[in-house]
Amino acid sequence: MGNAPFIKKLRKDGRSILTEFESKNFLRQKGIPIVETRLARTQKEAVLLSQKIGFPVVLKIASPDIVHKSDSGGVKLGLKSVSEIRMAYREIMDAIKKQNPCAVIEGVTVQKMAKSGIEVIVGASKDPQFGPVLMFGLGGVFVEVLKDVSFRIIPINRKDAREMIEEIKGYPLLQGYRGKKPADLPALIEILFKISRLMEENPEIKELDLNPVIAYEKGALAVDARIILEKEEPLF
């Protein structure tokens, strides 16, 4: 990653936070299953890409200066027609210009609205004492309120990944709770294993979040991603 041209450009521009679009492209190249996401620089392009991807779609503001897109009015879900795309694009741009007038706007990302499933979160960060650490948990209220997560020091193997999944309190939901179909555990294990390897091979990554990853009966799909790099230390 450190040799990637766009990472060098990030460094040159003094940036340490990748946009969602940049994060997703990088993770896809590393074999992480990511929902198809395209960048539209104009309203017309957003309409064309939505038609190509197929409704319903999600629009999100694309800006290196906006991390919390939903809080800024920069996310529109479940858009089902050309007229909805046009309206959503205008509303996003109006909200961002009002709340973040100085933000650099690259356009919007257009992505397929993923089918519902069991939402989980996969994250990695650097602990001052232990180094890179991997996290897994169920998404939504389970992370925010119950703090139902498991951790491992990187690197992990696939056996470690399975144990991470099995030790959270919400594990029965992944097994097929009350007649619901079980999640594809091997797919989740593979994502955890690949993120561990990615962090090991790319020490310039400070934080990485896949939130949520939607687990299905067959497969799993990350629908949002964030990567933050270590800031380069000055030479003098």
Domain boundary pick from 112, 136, 154: 112
Give me the pLDDT at residue 142, please.
Answer: 77
Q: How confident is the model at residue 2 (pLDDT cuts 50, 70, 90)?
A: very low
pLDDT in tens, 140-151: 777 877 889 999
Same domain, yes or no, for 209 and 185? yes
Q: Which of 112, 138, 173 is the last residue of a domain?
A: 112
- Per-residue pLDDT of 29-55, as tens digits, reads 999 999 999 999 999 999 999 999 999
What pLDDT is attached to residue 143? 80
Cα dihedral 176→172→166→130 (10° resolution): 120
Q: Identify whether residues 152 and 168 lie together within a single domain.
A: yes
Whole domain around residue 144: which residue ranges? 118-229
What does the pLDDT look like over 114-131, one tens digit per residue? Answer: 999 999 999 999 998 999
Contact in structure between 102 and 65 (CB atoms under 8 Å): yes
User: What is d(CA 151, CA 161) in angstroms, rounded to the nearest whole number?
Assistant: 10
* Residue range 135-141: mean pLDDT, rounded: 88
Dmax over Cα atoms in the chain, in whole Å? 62
Domain assignment of residue 25, yes or no:
no
Residues 125 and 212 in one domain: yes
- Tell me: do 146 and 219 sit in the same domain: yes
Residue 148 counted as domain residue: yes
Instruction: Inform me whether the pLDDT recorded for 3 exceeds 60.
Output: no
Let me know if residue 211 belongs to a domain.
yes
Residues in the chain: 236
Residue 188, classified by CB atoms within 10 Å of its CB into exposed (0-12), middle (13-18) or buried (19+), is: buried
Question: 159-195 pLDDT, tens per residue?
Answer: 999 999 999 999 999 999 888 899 999 999 999 999 9
Q: Do the domain assignments include residue 1?
A: no
Q: What is the CATH number of the domain that holds 177?
A: 3.30.470.20
101-109: average pLDDT:
94
Residues 52 and 74 in one domain: yes
95 lies in a domain?
yes
